[in-house]
Structure 1
């Protein structure tokens, strides 16, 4: 039920124009996160975090918990600043594309999408195949 409501909310947001923000490759996201230039947020599920680990220092919020949970978590991570740069990562870039549009639609101005995700997609080989570091997710 929550997934259906979230997807309906996203469909409504997709119908409104949003600003385009460039995507980041996995290495770019890693470098920017390490430099403190973006807050990296993993929006996969706890099961996915346990299976592969997460990028070092990445925030974690389950996309499927719904739009309010996603919004609240991200606002907490950026101290309420909707202009703070964030980079979203999921498994293959599908959820991050939806979340990016949703967040832009509600006023976030610097939402980057790591479209290749952790596992890879048409956008690139992905975080894991590129050999970028991950940490075990012991609290998932």
Structure 2
């Protein structure tokens, strides 16, 4: 006859098993979140890569933000708030398949979020310019680094007139 295990011992085993499962789940989720993070780049690195022709920067802020601060020289003003954001992004990727793509916003929050969502949906390697135009608590940003800025009309005229859908 098999030995009997008392109910208190079974409860302890169940609690221990549950705790191990919860810990494993937390570890799995944490690891998945860490690995799902998009690559990061500083404003200085992004500016240099743009000058070399290796990188396309999309400024995903709102038109009001572009008007207020200007747009990073070389960046394409392609607002994430437009219903045409997806088609415009696809058009750029198809036209420039050998260039890396980076996103910039005001402080790095939106660019990180959009790059992460794109990564989760199969578009890997989209770079987050994590300090943004205005900076954050970690880095000063494109503007404070005195990197070149152009008026939004100049940026729109140079990059987007012929290939992006109007909002």
Count matched residues. 123
Q: Structure 2: give runs of 5+ residues left out of the alignment.
A: 1-31, 157-167
The answer as to 2:122 corresponding to 1:107 is yes
Larger RCO, structures 1/2 (Cα 8 Å, 6+ apart): 1
TM (norm. structure 1) is: 0.77
Aligned counterpart in structure 1 of residue 41 of structure 2, from 24, 27, 33: 24
**Is 2:59–2:71's contact at 8 Å kept on the other side of the alignment?**
yes
Q: Tell me the distance in 2 between the aligned counterparts of 1:109 and 1:91.
A: 22
Aligned partners of 1:76, 1:123: CA distance in 2, in Å? Answer: 33
Q: Structure 1's 83 and 21: CA in aligned 2 closer, same or farther, altered over 3 A?
A: farther
| 2:135 maps to 1:116 | no
Higher helix share: 2
Give the whole-Å Cα distance in 1 for the aligned partners of 2:122 and 2:100.
Answer: 12
Report the CA distance shift for 1:61/1:134 in structure 2 as closer, same or farther (over 3 A).
Answer: same
SS class of match (1:127):
helix
Q: Which runs of 5+ in 1 are unaligned?
A: 1-15
